[in-house]
Structure 1
Amino acid sequence: MFFEITCAHIKIISNFSPRINFSMKRYLLLLLMIGALAACKNNKKAGNNTNEPMTFEDFQALFKPGTLPYKLNADTLQLKMADSLAVAATDVNRFLTDTLTKGDYSKTEKVKLFPLTRIPGNVADYMIIKAVGKSQTTGYLCILDKKGKYLNRLRIANTGGSDGSIISTSIDNKNVVKISAEKKKSGANTSLKEEFYAVNKDGSVQLIMTNTNGPTTAGQIFNPIDTLPRKHKFSGDYTSGDMSIVSIRDGEDGKTFQFFISFSKDNGNCKGELSGRGHYLAGNRGEYKDKESSCGISFQFSAGRVNIREIGGCGAYRGIKCFFEGGFVKKKHKSQG
């Protein structure tokens, strides 16, 4: 087709008035050739069932554009999709990861992959893929940097795994990913566990809070910064009851600190959990401000105590009827060795 079009137009250009010089004819011919090449390129189909390799732009175009906030539940996951919409595993392996379904499906199980949505985020971009196998249907959140490089993945939805849990997810406009796992128990009872993750620029995810309607055991708080150094005079663990703690650890220098806050109020009906890096201010004060949201915490240190107060909206990290606030008493620490 390219040669037929080009030759036809060459004949037309050759029959132009003699007043059009050779340079002008050559220029017109060059423009027509560029246009013909572009048309040929646009008419090629890349990817499945073709000999043309798929580009990242082709791969990305398979995903429906979306925005935050975003939700994916089991009902949506179960909607049947035409096999023609599936993407080849080789393309997923090339542009994302070859371990997408690892741990959820056996190596011998035939799994079809369907591109769902692509979403631009504040710190990273997302691609959501559905995997359909004989045993289950699973949703994955793939995290990419702003140049399209794959960084990480999260299992965010499932129609029912081996333990009977049904998993759904939501991502708010602050890039907080909430993964909810619901499991049927005896009778009409169900257990619900909600995990909240913050997505970092490098693709790593940080568990910032866990909510569950299951029984709470006193004294069992997992402190993710427990092993960090505590040489600063304000570093240590401050508690209020068995299930509330403000943990302070040394920062990169004397002006910063690492913190972890976890509290449970109203017999476990209202919980909150938050961790991050704060900085010290004058007058025995400290402050934390989330770069991706309005959440902020004020710390006021005194002899053996710390008082915290919420100075921004931190609703993504706590229940709606309670706040990051109150006084905590410093625990004595036994030096190791």
Structure 2
Amino acid sequence: MKRFLLVILAIGILAACKNKQKSGDGTKEPMTLADFQALFTPGTLPYKLAADSLQLKLADSLALDTAAVRQFLTDTLTTGTFGRNEKVKIFPLQRISGAVVDYLVLKVAGKNQTTGYLCFLDKKGKYLSRIRVANTGSSDGTTTSFNLDSKNVLKINTEKKLTGSRTALKEDFFMINNDGSITLIMTNSNGPTTPGQIFNPIDTLPRKHKFSGDYTSGEMNIVSIRDGEDAKTFQFFITFSKDNGNCKGELSGKGTFIAGNRGEFKDKESSCGLSFQFSNGRVSIREIGGCGAYRGIKCFFEGGFVKKAEKKKKK
């Protein structure tokens, strides 16, 4: 009798083991965060994803379940790159632990282009945000790749084909913050400069505050102010070119209003500081700390800028 019971018990255990499948493969067993992250290859910093590496074909069986992506990351991962109804395959690439946030690198393959995304997670695995960091197959021949170093500095490299064998190279450096947001530190480019055309990374942010707007001094000098998280803060982006382009500077970050029409910025990574003085459709800036990491050695963040009139939206 005991032998019979043992046989029945063994059969039950074997059946249970046979029926138990990996979480998230369509079974009723829910996928855990640990299960999801285990699908990514562990990696370390520094990390680099080149455009040619992004093009390597992966087996369809490695693709993530879109429901798992929505559960642990976001349902808007591919928004802005792929069409709403376009069928894509999402592949897990790397799982990396950083100093202030953790990272997941994903590859999304569509019909005509392939894109790499860098997702930011807090130390408990909660999704914070994502940024597109790599791309191949765009209609104008532009390719994008990225580097991520151990100091939370993200460099996105963009290469665009021009006429003949010429190419335009652009490097954008970002500081990654512990809330998953990014701050543009500097941009290097060897591409042609068109007067009046400046890439403004905060251009689409709200500008409801009375001091928010774009302030200019010449075609290639701008102080862009946008609304902050509350009435006491503001976002800014500054770029300038002096001495016929021989001395340039670029800086972005979050400032604080310290009086009715005065603002201040202090860099957490250096001694750099800026003072903002707003008055009658103008803003004056000056350095209150050494900002040499963000400009040439012979020029400074200083001077007066006039606020541009906003274009009226068509009804």
- Normalised by the length of structure 2, the TM-score is 0.69
Residue 55 and residue 6 in structure 1: after superposition, are their counterparts in 2 closer, same or farther (change >3 A)? farther
Can you give the 5+ residue segments of structure 2 that lack an aligned partner in the other structure?
Answer: 278-282, 310-315
Please point out which of 88, 91, 94 is paired with 2:71. 94
| Map 1:1-337 → 2, pairs under 5 A | 4=6, 45-48=22-25, 52-106=29-83, 109-207=86-184, 209-218=186-195, 228-230=209-211, 239=217, 242-245=219-222, 260-265=237-242, 267-268=244-245, 270-277=248-255, 288-291=265-268, 293-294=269-270, 296-297=272-273, 299=275, 306-308=285-287, 310-311=289-290, 314=293, 318=294, 322=297, 325=300, 327-329=302-304
* CA offsets 1:302-327 (integer angstroms, 9 cap, x no match): xx96542653673xxx46x5577254
| 3-state SS, counterpart of residue 311 of structure 1 | coil
The answer to which of 118-127 and 204-213 deviates more is 204-213
Distance 1:167 1:332 in 2: 34
Partner Cα distance (1:148, 1:333) in 2? 43
Residues in 2 aligned to 1:172 and 1:155: alpha-carbon distance in whole angstroms: 17
C-alpha distance in 2, partners of 1:82/1:250?
A: 45
Aligned amino acid, residue 47 of structure 2: Y
User: Between the two proteins, what is the percent identity of the paired residues?
Assistant: 52
Residues 130-180 of structure 1: per-residue CA shift (max 9 Å, x gap):
122332221111222333222322221112212221111223444343322
Given that 2:222 and 2:305 are in contact with CA atoms closer than 8 Å, whether structure 1 keeps it comes out as: no
User: 2:103, 2:119 within 8 Å by CA — same for their partners in 1?
Assistant: yes
Structure number, greater radius of gyration: 1
Structure 1, unpaired ranges of 5+: 9-35
CA shift digits 1:262-296 (9 cap, x unpaired): 22246446442323215769xxx9863333x2352
Give distance in 1, aligned partners of 2:79 and 2:308.
Answer: 42
| 1:115 shift after superposition | 0.6
Return the TM-score normalized by structure 1: 0.65
Structure 1 residue ranges, 4+ long, deviating more than 6 angstroms after superposition: 5-8, 247-254
CA distance in 2 between counterparts of 1:274 and 1:182 reads 23
1:107-133 alpha-carbon deviations (Å, 9 max, x no partner):
565432211112233443321111223
Q: Is the Cα contact below 8 Å between 2:21 and 2:27 reproduced in 1? A: no
Quote the RMSD (CA, aligned, Å).
4.5
Q: Higher helix share goes to which structure?
A: 1
Q: Summarize deviations over 1:60-96 as a string: whole Å, max 9, x none.
A: 1111223343321202212233344332222222221
